[in-house]
Amino acid sequence: MKKMIARDLIVIGTSAGGVEALQVVARGLPRDLQAAVLIVIHLSAESPYLLPEILRKVSPLEIANVSDGVRIESGKVYVAPPDCHLLVKANTLKLSKGPKENRSRPAIDPLFRTAAAAYGPRVIGVILTGMLDDGSAGLSAVKECGGTTVVQDPADALYPSMPQSALRYVGADYTVLLAGLAPLLTRLVQEPTNALENVPRSKLNQIESRFSEMSTIDRHEMDAIGSQAGVSCPECHGPMWKIKDGKLQRYRCHVGHAYTAQTMAEGQIEAQEAHLWQALRLMKERISLIGEMRRQAEDDQRQSDIDGCDGQIRYLERSIAELQGILQCAK
């Protein structure tokens, strides 16, 4: 059944170039905005939590402290802290150390997915500047649950990859220049939407929301949302499932690490380099050990052992040179 529903939850995802973009948006939102604003920007686990203080200098809205279980209130801005997913559970916030998605924690997709599940058509999902394609799957969940989708015009973004991916795989109700985003959000909050109140969620959306909360998902459930991909997870090295999410190709392991095809490729390159460096270290350690064995053979005057050690060292030195060339090409 359709009825007029107020849009009272804005979720914003961004990455590279996001601090500058968020300041523009925060500066333009009115003090009496009848919606809460939840923000995820990609941060490393070691990053200082500076964005709230930066936004306090420019925003007329209250930049609220974020803690697990805090109630979501209109007129406040909540920023995901480093190394925690920011999730929505009913009308409260939840902080989770759940598995990384697209090699990030916090990641955009878990916020958008759980917000869509809890608020349905009341959600406005916004994708801003950033690299790669985190946020596309989350924006798809917002759209699936009847929410409104907004994407920064890629031509206007410092880093256009994330907006381009969102438009390519999901589409948007509104594509807007950064300067026009705050006025658009203000208008959307003021104008109720004529939407279905309770949109049925797909099995994919339901299962993936549980991952962010660190629920156990068995392999039969994974088979229900995808097919085994024949590749291992770059993070935990477990088997992965290939998930078809509309036009977007994604991957998940049953522990919960999630990747788009693009971030999966990036993760494999990083894992490959780590293994190559490990192999290089082991070869050098082996040369050191064989050198000790050679010196012992000299003391005992065992020429055959000396020759064998020399051959192994020459082989390892050639292997190291080849491996260093591979590593150089991988950079």
> Which residues are catalytically annotated?
15, 42, 134
Q: Is the dihedral of CA 107, 108, 113, 114 positive or negative?
A: positive
Specify whether the CB–CB gap between 101 and 134 falls below 8 A: yes
CA dist 331 and 329 (Å) reads 6
CA dist 50 and 53 (Å) reads 6
CA-closest candidate to residue 212, choices 81, 127, 40, 86 = 86
Secondary structure (DSSP) of 217-262: --HHHHHHH-EEEEEE-TTT--EEEEEEETTEEEEEETT--EEEHH
Facing residues of 195 across strands?
A: 3
CA-closest candidate to residue 185, choices 128, 109, 141, 234 = 128
Task: Check residue 260 and give left, alpha or beta (phi > 0: left; psi -120 to 50: alpha).
Answer: beta
Question: Which own/partner contact pairs does 248-256 have at CB distance under 8 Å and 24+ positions apart?
Answer: 248/133, 248/136, 248/137, 248/140, 248/169, 248/170, 250/137, 252/208, 252/211, 252/222, 252/226, 254/217, 254/218, 254/219, 254/222, 255/99, 256/98, 256/99, 256/211, 256/212, 256/214, 256/217
Residue at token pair 């065992």: 302
Pairing of strands 148-152, 174-176: parallel
- What stretch of H or E contains 143? helix 136-144
